[in-house]
Chain A
Amino acid sequence: MNASYLTSILIWLPVAGAILIWLLPLSRYATGSLALLISFAEVGFWIKQAAHFDFSQPGLQMSERANWFGDLGVSYHVGVYGFSLWLVGLTVVGMAACTGYGFWVGRDRPRAYFGLMLLLTGATVGVFESQDLLLFYAFFEAMLIPLYILIGVWGGARRMEATIKFVIYTMAGSLLMLAAIVAYGLKAGTFDLVDGPASASRWLFLGFMLAFVIKAPLFPFHGWLPDAYREAPPEIAAVLSGVIAKAGLYGMLRIAITKFPDPTSFYRTTVLALAAAALVYGSLLAFRSPDFRGVVAYSSLAQSGLIALGLFAGTDLGFDGAVLQMVAHGLISISLFLVAGAVERRTTTGEFRLLGGMARGRPALATLLMIVGVISLAVPGSASFAGEFLILAGVFQRAWWWAAIGAGAIVLAAMYVLRLISAVLHEARGPTVADEALDLRPGELALVVPLVAGLLFLSAWPAGISNHSFFGPSPSAAVKSGFK
């Protein structure tokens, strides 16, 4: 492929941009503009990448490979598959929206802030593109560094506890993954994900899975989630739940399921049970949550469970639905967190008992929240309906009761989303909702409307993703063959 340079550009352009921003003594406005420009350039490069991607070809595309250190067989090897292409797209679009949000609200210390946002973009794209285990691990960890500082410096009052919890939780998982990577790579003689053989070791599978279930997260590894999502600035919470969490799910698909077929079927019931628990428990907590962000945070837990359900169903429909739902939920979650941020800016709070009646006189806010909410509760015809239907159908083929649990949880989803909408938009006007609180401004609309447009597009044509994620008619066969 002659367009393979795009793969590396998508990783290193934002990193270079971050260094540039740190070196140049630009003004606040110039720094934000530069960061936004680079984010848009990322989106442009991604569109070009998608245009060059040949969905009729099997195997890795636009790959680049260079030696990193040869004696252990570690290389800089990047490339994209169909499903990674969509996740890269989600990352660049989501990060552009969140960077724009940071610019719009005027974060303090702009050079540090925007540099870190760009660094985060590069690292996350790297996770979805790397085809070498150590490289994957390096990017997986590298995401954590800007996140730690972004939450720790620009977060809310209890940010210290939130960051420590978040970092220690995720590192506990990923360090065991490092041990698993060492063991897998030395045994296989290569750390390459494409060339590496399948392994039957249950220990290694568990080592990888622990990192992914914490990152995703699944029940009962979600202890870091509520604090991190509440204390982070809204755009960072949006990134966390919309994009970063998908890295854990992507890891399950790309590494745990693909490289460990036997352990996957051995632990299938366990993981499905954890996923179902996350789905039901997350939905219940979302329904009980007293604040806007709490609902979105716990619904992310539920959605991670749902996606993991689709992945570990191990059926064609499950895989297709999981990838579609990753993208759809990513867009939903980013939109909701940005709207939550907008509400918090106007009312200083996200607590439902202090909110209410915001629909009156604020048509844009009400319309947007309504559209996103309706899509997220999987109303028939929406993108997430398509995703959830595929997942449930896929897991139904495994056993009917998984689908029954999933369907029950979707009813819960309708309950918590409607509760959220009515508590913010309708009901009696809350004490913190002043008449002067404006509707969404053009700047905010410019950030959220494209995301919602993307969701509407996916609602109209979900097959755009679900039929274009894996080569060939059967995703499970593609997974079994290791995407060769």
Chain B
Amino acid sequence: MTLNTPPIDWFGLSPVLTLIGTSFAALLCAVLVPRAVRRLASAGIAVAGFTAGIVLAVWLYVDSTNGHTIAAGAYYRDRWTSLGQIIIFAVGLATTLLAMEHVPGWRRDADPSRRDDHVAEFFALLLASAAGMAFFVGAANLITLFLSLEWFSIALYVMCAIDYDLQGSLEAGLKYLVVGSFGAATLLFGSALVYGATGKVSFDGIASAVGSQSLTSDTFVVVGIALMVAGLGFKMSAAPFHMWTPDVYEGAPTTVTAWMSSATKVAALLLTFRVMTTAFPHNQHLWGWAFAIIATISLAIGNFAALVQKNVKRILAYSAIAQAGFMLIGLSTGTALGGRALMYYLIPYAASAFGSFAIVAARERELGVPVTLDNLAGFGWERPFLGVAMWFFVFGFAGLPLTGGFVGKFYVFAAAYDHGWAWLVIVGVLATLVSLYYYLGIVRAMYMRGPEELQLRPGSVALSGGAPAKETLLHVAVGAAFVVSVGSLFAVQPLIDLAQHAASALPL
């Protein structure tokens, strides 16, 4: 028996391969590069990797007008994949900048000369998880779907636990591992059922099998879809599969949280939309309703739970659950308008989610304790740029017309109404109203409390009267996120065009 290797479109896979390659290179830094320049070298490799990834993904976007599968039907080379990868890599680049001045996992209590012992691993993991997500959004069959899901998840488990000096980091990693594995197992089980019913692993093969053998209401297919919805729900942190989110987001190093909350969500939502519309178009009535209900639950739980939180990372974690709900409104319609609403929404969302956690990270570095609404007092006046940026990000989450979040909300509502789901629009509107309270609360904490209410740790930079640390790269990262999220309010048409071209790769 001879084994025929399929023809591989190496260029189509190049963004993923680049990131894998740079991940290995960064890992080699850990042993080959002298300690003094290890941080610079590994971070530099990460910057180069993400930049090259963006360039290649842009190139592929331009070059993939007609989307098709490559590598024996395992991976989609189309604009949906490329645009998703561009967003993910851009967030990755910003995460690298954010991490550079304060790498999670460095040994802050160690002798200064030994601190950078383990920084290269962080960047290697970051690159590896980005590569996994990039492959994930392009997955074209159940096997590559599961493979890439595990690939980036395992990298993320380690990243959550990497800061083992930090209280809660190890716990966060373990919790994420256990719950995430459960979610992955659910997804795998669902995939197995779908495969059992249809005999196909490729998404379009499943669709044609379901269509030609009239398996629309086949028990295995229906249960399989339900399990896959649940499994993917874990990754996008939609309620009721969200239980891990607040704890993990809170416990993980804030840099990692910033990365997870934006990039993972982009990958999970884009892939879910693809799987559902490509593999199960005949069951749209089922998964559409399922996601509409999940969206409603996410909006309710995310927003109401956020109201009572004091820890800013937890507030933002619940807000991330609620935001997943908004994006699921667009996803659940399964229409072309819903697809581009989802894609558009993700752009300001990814920027704002990353930016808001990055600002929390800045405050955390300043105080050395978890950031709460109380010790955020006066932050807006002390660090004007970061304060204004935070103000824009959270008001953008609330759908006020300061960032593209406003237009994104409008788009998902339009998609839901267009689909005939006016009730979902009302749900979204009410959820927005509830969410205002805690988003305003963050702004209130930053600006409207007197300096006498400041609760600073003795000996911290701000208290001892020194100027705040000059975190140039952090400011660059936040500034980029700020420009993207505000710019997306004005440049709607170009972004919608991009999203429309991307969504045209899907069978809608």
Which residues of A approach B to under 8 Å, CB–CB?
A: 22, 67-72, 74, 109, 134, 137-139, 141-142, 144-145, 148-149, 152-153, 159-160, 163-164, 167-168, 171-172, 175-176, 178-179, 182-183, 185-186
Contacts and interface: CB of A to CB of B under 8 A. Distances in A.
B379 interface: no
A55 B243 CA distance: 63
Nearest to A67: B493
Contacts of A153: 447-448
5 contacts: A22-B388, A69-B407, A74-B492, A175-B432, A183-B417
Contacts of A182: 410, 413-414, 417, 425
Nearest to B426: A179
Given A149-B443, A182-B413, A182-B417, A175 B429 contact: yes
Given A69-B492, A152-B444, A171 B433 contact: yes
Contacts of B430: 175
A144 B493 contact: no
Given A149-B443, A186-B417, 7 more contacts: A69-B493, A71-B340, A142-B402, A163-B444, A179-B425, A183-B417, A183-B422
Contacts of A172: 433
A149 B429 contact: no
B418 interface: yes
A70 B447 contact: no
Contacts of B401: 137-139, 141-142
B414 A152 contact: no
B429 A145 contact: no
Q: Range of interface residues on chain B?
A: 35 or more
Contacts of A144: 400
B10 interface: no
Contacts of A70: 493
A152 B409 CA distance: 26
Given A141-B401, A152-B448, A182-B414, A167 B429 contact: no
B11 interface: no
B496 interface: yes
Contacts of A149: 443, 447-448
B422 A152 contact: no
A302 B402 CA distance: 33
Contacts of A67: 493
- The main secondary structure of chain B at its interface with chain A is helix
Given A145-B402, A152-B444, A186-B418, A167 B413 contact: no
A291 B400 CA distance: 34
B388 A178 contact: no
Contact of B414 (A139, A142, A168, A186): A186
Contact of B436 (A74, A167, A183, A185): A167
A372 B440 CA distance: 37
A68 B448 contact: no
Contacts of B407: 69
Interface in B400-421: 400-402, 406-407, 409-411, 413-414, 417-418
Contact of A168 (B429, B433, B448): B433
A152 B447 contact: yes
Contacts of A163: 440, 444
Nearest to B444: A152
A173 to B, nearest CB: 10
B433 A175 contact: yes
A128 to B, nearest CB: 16
B436 A71 contact: no
Contact of B395 (A138, A145, A178): A145
B436 A159 contact: no
A148 B414 contact: no
Contacts of A179: 413, 422, 425-426, 429
Interface of B: 340, 381, 384, 388, 395, 399-402, 406-407, 409-411, 413-414, 417-418, 422, 425-426, 429-430, 432-433, 436-437, 440, 443-444, 447-448, 492-493, 496, 500
A109 B382 CA distance: 12
A168 B434 CA distance: 9
| 6 closest cross-chain pairs (CB), A and B | A138-B401, A69-B492, A152-B448, A175-B429, A182-B413, A69-B493
A67 B430 CA distance: 30
A134 B410 contact: yes
Contacts of A134: 410
A363 B448 CA distance: 38
Contacts of B406: 138, 141
B496 to A, nearest CB: 5
A145 B489 CA distance: 16
Contacts of B402: 142, 145
Contacts of A152: 443-444, 447-448
Contact of B400 (A142, A164, A185): A142
A22 B414 CA distance: 35
Contact of A160 (B381, B418, B444, B493): B444
Contacts of A176: 429
A175 B429 CA distance: 6
Given A171-B436, A183-B422, A141 B400 contact: yes
A163 B441 CA distance: 11
A139 B388 CA distance: 19
Nearest to A172: B433
B252 to A, nearest CB: 31
A160 B340 CA distance: 39
Contact of A145 (B340, B400, B417): B400
Given A168-B433, A175-B433, A179-B429, A71 B496 contact: yes
B240 to A, nearest CB: 25
A121 to B, nearest CB: 16
Contacts of B388: 22
A87 to B, nearest CB: 20
A220 to B, nearest CB: 19
Contacts of B426: 179
Contacts of B443: 148-149, 152
A167 B440 contact: yes
Contacts of A183: 417, 422, 425
Most B C-beta atoms less than 10 A away, residue of A69, A144, A167: A69
A144 B340 CA distance: 29
Contacts of B399: 175
Contacts of A141: 400-401, 406
Contacts of B381: 109
Nearest to B395: A145
A134 B492 CA distance: 13
A172 B407 CA distance: 18
Contacts of B432: 171, 175
Nearest to A72: B414
A152 B443 CA distance: 10
Nearest to B414: A182
B378 to A, nearest CB: 11
B342 to A, nearest CB: 14
Contacts of B493: 67-70
Contacts of A109: 381
A137 B401 CA distance: 9
Most B C-beta atoms less than 10 A away, residue of A72, A139, A164: A72
B100 to A, nearest CB: 26
Contacts of A186: 414, 417-418
Contact of A68 (B425, B433, B440, B492): B492
A69 B408 CA distance: 12
B302 to A, nearest CB: 17
A153 B450 CA distance: 9
A165 to B, nearest CB: 11
Given A138-B401, A141-B401, A171-B433, A148 B440 contact: yes
A258 to B, nearest CB: 22
A139 B340 CA distance: 25
Contacts of B447: 149, 152-153
Contacts of B440: 148, 163-164, 167
A351 B406 CA distance: 42
Given A142-B400, A152-B447, A159-B448, A178 B410 contact: yes
B194 to A, nearest CB: 34
